Amino acid sequence: MATIALAGNPNSGKTTVFNILTGSSQRVGNWPGVTVDRKSGTYKKEKVTTIQDLPGIYSLSPYTPEEIVSRDYLINDNPDAVLNIVDATNLERNLYLTLQILETDVPVVIGLNMMDALKRENREIDIEKLSYGLGVKVAPMTATKGKGVFQALELAKKEKQSEDKLTYDARLETSLAEIDEILGDAIPLRARKWYSIKVFEGDKEIWESLKLSNSQEKEIKEIISITEKIFQEDAESIIINERYALIGQLVHLAVTDSSGSDIRFNMS
């Protein structure tokens, strides 16, 4: 038995992909929140594989019901792999979630969807460069035409890699490694980087759930405060800025824009 989860931003095409893979007819729609609970189905080409359609989210924070469902599933339910559906016409925004999924160490394949719309906008994404920059396989798709969907799922089924592939600024990585060491057995073997980042950011829910000793808390708070002084920023901003810096590099590496538009980045 294998389970592949479909994760991505709202309207990236997850349900369209789910319907193709399972042969079902869940409601597809150009509005957010159609899937608030996760829905599972059987892969129609191979009955031992289960496909999970997760709610659309922009972040793995616990601020919305969709984020809570998706985050709990990715952290606690150990899917065999995630097929991250990415809207190619909104690459920067979609990659913000991709980086957070990669932080959880789950095996990931990117289903780069809406390739038809990207082409219509006279923009191109170099699949090999994006794949190289992220350290994961990228499968181009046009889900509404059924193009590339099964190929993407087959890649996800084979994906077993789950080691830490993301590298942020060396000074941040050092602090995260120190936090990881102090956390020790308090966090599971998987998703260690994600936990270290959450602790570094001061995620209240995670801090409370870990039940750390006073000395652990003290040591970690010292690391956070030293790192904030080095970066001259608060911990949460450090993480956000590091993610966007990496996304900026990836987009610079992989995107060719011949649309005539002057606006290359719109991160806000």
CA distance 33 to 51: 19
- By CB atoms closer than 10 A (0-12, 13-18, 19+), residue 250 is buried
Whole-angstrom CA distances from 263 to 118, 243, 251, 260, 266 are 16, 20, 13, 9, 7
Q: Which stretch binds ligand GDP (CB under 6 A): 12-20, 155-163, 190-198, 252-260?
A: 12-20
Residue whose C-alpha is closest to residue 255's, from 130, 99, 114: 130
DSSP state of 168: -
> Among residues 5, 13, 179, 194, which is the contact residue for ligand GDP, using CB under 6 A?
13
Asked if residue 34 binds Mg ion (CB under 5 A), the reply is: yes
Contact characters 44-63, ligand GDP, x per CB under 6 A: ------------x-------
Asked if residue 113 binds ligand GDP (CB under 6 A), the reply is: yes
CA distance 247 to 244: 5
Q: Which stretch binds K ion (CB under 5 A): 6-14, 136-144, 155-163, 196-204?
A: 6-14
Query: What are the contacts of 119-124 at 24+ separation with CB within 8 A?
Result: 121/89, 121/259, 122/257, 122/258, 122/259, 122/260, 123/89, 123/255, 123/256, 123/257, 123/258, 123/259, 124/255, 124/256, 124/258
> Among residues 4, 5, 7, 10, which is the contact residue for ligand GDP, using CB under 6 A?
10
| Least spacing, CB of residue 13 vs ligand GDP, in Å | 3
Between 53 and 201, whose beta carbon lies closer to ligand GDP? 53
Site for ligand GDP in 217-236 (CB under 6 A): none
| Least spacing, CB of residue 99 vs ligand GDP, in Å | 18
Asked if residue 26 binds K ion (CB under 5 A), the reply is: no
Residue 256 main-chain phi, psi, to 5 deg: -110, 125
| Least spacing, CB of residue 30 vs ligand GDP, in Å | 4
> Among residues 4, 5, 7, 16, which is the contact residue for ligand GDP, using CB under 6 A?
16
Q: Which does 143 bind (CB under 5 to 8 A by kind): Mg ion, K ion, ligand GDP, none?
A: ligand GDP
- By CB atoms closer than 10 A (0-12, 13-18, 19+), residue 180 is middle
| Least spacing, CB of residue 54 vs Mg ion, in Å | 9
Other residues' Cβ atoms within 10 Å of the Cβ of residue 198: 26
Asked if residue 240 binds ligand GDP (CB under 6 A), the reply is: no
Asked if residue 34 binds K ion (CB under 5 A), the reply is: yes
Q: How far is CA 122 from the centre of its chain?
A: 26
Asked if residue 28 binds ligand GDP (CB under 6 A), the reply is: yes
Binding footprint of Mg ion on the chain (CB under 5 A): 14-15, 34-35
Binding footprint of ligand GDP on the chain (CB under 6 A): 8, 10-16, 28-30, 34-35, 56, 113-114, 116-117, 142-144
